[in-house]
Chain A
Amino acid sequence: MRNTWIICRKELGSYFVSPVAYFLLTMFAVVFGFFFWASLGYFVVASLEMQMQGRMFPLNLNEQVIRPLLQNASVIGLFLIPMITMRLFAEEKRTGTIELLATSPVRDLEIIVGKWLAAMMLYACLLIFTALNFAFLFKYGNPDWKPMLIAYLGLLLQAGALLAIGTFISTLTKNQIIAGAATFGIALLMFVLGWVGEYESATWARVLSYLSVNTHLESFNRGVLNSKDAIFYLSMIFVGLFLTARSLESLRWRS
Chain B
Amino acid sequence: MITAKNLSKRYARTVAVDGISFDVAKGQIVGFLGPNGAGKTTTMRILTCFLPPSNGSATVAGFDVLEQPLEVKKRIGYLPESPPIYPEMETDEYLKFVGQLKGLSGADLQKRVDYVAERCAIADVRKKLLGKLSKGYRQRVGLAQAIIHNPDVLILDEPTAGLDPKQINETRDLIKGLAGDHTIILSTHILSEVEQTCEQVIIINKGKLVATDSVRNLQARARGEESVLLEVAGRNGALDVAKVQQRLQQITGVGGVVLKNQLDSRAVFEIEGHRGQLVRGDLARAVVEAGWDLNELRPAAMSLEEVFLQLTGSETQAEATGAKGVPA
* Interface of A toward B, CB cutoff 8 Å: 3, 6-7, 10, 13-14, 17-18, 95-107, 252-255
Contact = CB atoms under 8 A, between A and B. Distances in A.
B145 A105 contact: no
Interface string B51-64: 11000000000000
Interface in B54-112: 70-71, 73-74, 76, 78, 80-82, 84-89, 93, 97-98, 100-103
B48 interface: yes
Q: With a 10 A CB-CB cut-off, give which of A7, A103, A106 has the most chain B CB atoms.
A: A103
Interface of A is mostly: helix
Given A10-B97, A13-B89, A253-B52, A103 B82 contact: no
Contacts of B100: 6
A103 B48 contact: yes
B145 A252 contact: no
Contacts, number: 71
B74 A105 contact: yes
A97 B86 CA distance: 7
Nearest to A6: B100
A106 B101 contact: yes
Contacts of B103: 105
Nearest to B86: A97
Interface of B is mostly: loop
A17 B50 contact: no
A252 to B, nearest CB: 6
Contacts of A253: 52
A102 B70 contact: no
B50 A99 contact: yes
B185 interface: no
Q: With a 10 A CB-CB cut-off, give which of A3, A97, A107 has the most chain B CB atoms.
A: A97
12 contacts: A14-B89, A95-B85, A96-B82, A96-B84, A98-B84, A103-B76, A104-B73, A104-B98, A104-B102, A105-B74, A105-B102, A255-B51
B248 to A, nearest CB: 56
Contacts of B93: 13
A103 B73 contact: yes
Given A6-B101, A13-B89, A105 B73 contact: yes
Nearest to B47: A103
By Cβ-Cβ distance, the 9 closest A-B pairs, closest first, are: A100-B84, A105-B73, A104-B101, A97-B84, A103-B48, A105-B74, A99-B80, A6-B100, A103-B78
A100 B76 CA distance: 11
Contacts of B82: 95-96
A236 B155 CA distance: 40
B49 interface: yes
Contacts of B11: 254
A254 B51 CA distance: 9
